[in-house]
Amino acid sequence: MRHDTDNRTTAHVTVDGLSFGYTASPVVRDVSLTVEEGEYVGIIGPNGSGKSTLLQLVLGLHEPDRGDVRLFGHPSRAFVERERVGYVAQDVTENTTEMPITVAEVVLMGRFPHAGFGRIETADRDRAREALQTVGIEHLADRRITKLSGGQRQRAYIARALASEAELLVLDEPTVGVDAESVAAFFDLLDDLNDDGMTILLVEHDIGAVLEHTDRVLCLNREVYFDGPPDEFVETDALERAYGTDLRRQPEASAP
């Protein structure tokens, strides 16, 4: 099911001169980055720095104002091989508080792009079960997803991405509302997946976790302040500049 037709040298994510603004002031300004196969990239930045927006642009959920965003070499707005991308957001179950749906049903959604209008086959169910095994919550398959803890639920969404046979995993602050112990286990799981070849693009508020686990740090506050390995990042003043300018700007922004 891997897509070998694609040129091996094609990067998973290519962002070039990207700008995007909800209103007049840009949320993302002239951002360029490339994520190659197998990389583990952590994006950090203060609140409102455009981290989540950047992810949504990468996923093709918004039309960029300027610049170019590509997934696997294709413009992401028109990208069709959607099963290659897995997406884990902040815990979404607030909106679906009491929706009756089991973990197994949610994970099986990862097979939907493969099935299209066709039937879900036994092979699809097997894949979903394997994915649940990989993330270690197979025993919760028949629970309602709303009855799980935050950490278990995020594992279920990872399993959905695995069931989809995703090659790129995009996570938007996945550990919000997850207890500390589960957070550690969650990052271990991401490490394991990355070791097995999964490309990971992670937005995370916990700077320490990003420095500890990722191969590459992207420090963002509307524009890119730093892009490189964690050990180089701690030696620069990018963190202070990115977070500091935000602090100085805040009184201005709240004025009229």
Partner 1 sequence: MTAITAHTFATAGSALVGQLGAPTDALGWLLDRWSDGLSAVGETFGIEMLRYGFMHRAFLVGALIAVMAPLIGTFLVHRQLALIGDALAHTAFAGVAVGLFVNAVLGVGVSPYLTAVVVAMIAALAIELISEVTDAYNDVSMAIVLSTGFALGAVLISINAGGLAVGVNQYLFGNLATVSRENAMILIGLFLAIVLVVGLTYKQLLYVTFDETAARVAGVNVRWYNRIMTMLTAMVVVGAMQIMGVILVAAMLVVPVAGAAQLARSFREALLASVVLAELAVLAGITLAYQYEATAGGTIVLVAVAIYVIAVLVGKAKASREPAAETRSIADDRIAD
Judged by CB under 8 A, does residue 115 bind partner 1?
yes
Site size with partner 1, rule: CB under 8 A: 36
Nearest to 200 by CA among 40, 16, 20, 80: 40
What is the distance between the alpha carbons of residues 53 and 217, in angstroms, rounded to a whole number? 17
Which position among 28, 104, 107, 200 is part of the footprint of partner 1 (CB under 8 A)? 104
Yes or no: say if 65 and 21 are a contact pair by the CB < 8 Å rule.
Answer: yes
Interacting residues with partner 1 between 37 and 66 (CB under 8 A): 59, 61
Judged by CB under 8 A, does residue 123 bind partner 1?
no
Judged by CB under 8 A, does residue 71 bind partner 1?
no
Q: Map residue 240 onto helix, strand or coil.
A: helix
| DSSP conformation class of 138 | G
Judged by CB under 8 A, does residue 74 bind partner 1?
no
Nearest to 38 by CA among 187, 150, 182, 169: 169
What is the distance between the alpha carbons of residues 204 and 174, in angstroms, rounded to a whole number? 7
Judged by CB under 8 A, does residue 83 bind partner 1?
yes
Residue among 179 and 195 whose Cβ is closer to partner 1: 179
The dihedral built from the CA positions of residue 89, 94, 96 and 102, taken in this order, carries a sign that is positive
What is the distance between the alpha carbons of residues 83 and 162, in angstroms, rounded to a whole number? 10
Which position among 144, 205, 241, 249 is part of the footprint of partner 1 (CB under 8 A)? 144
Which position among 98, 181, 235, 252 is part of the footprint of partner 1 (CB under 8 A)? 98
Q: Is 35 left (phi over 0), alpha (psi -120 to 50) or beta?
A: beta
Candidates 97-105, 186-194, 195-203, 214-222; binding stretch for partner 1 (CB under 8 A):
97-105
Judged by CB under 8 A, does residue 143 bind partner 1?
yes
Residue 220 pairs in a beta bridge with 224
Residue among 99 and 234 whose Cβ is closer to partner 1: 99
Contacting residues toward partner 1, per CB under 8 A: 59, 61, 79-80, 82-83, 85, 87, 89, 92, 95-96, 98-102, 104-106, 109, 112-113, 115, 117, 120, 138-139, 141-144, 157, 160, 164, 170
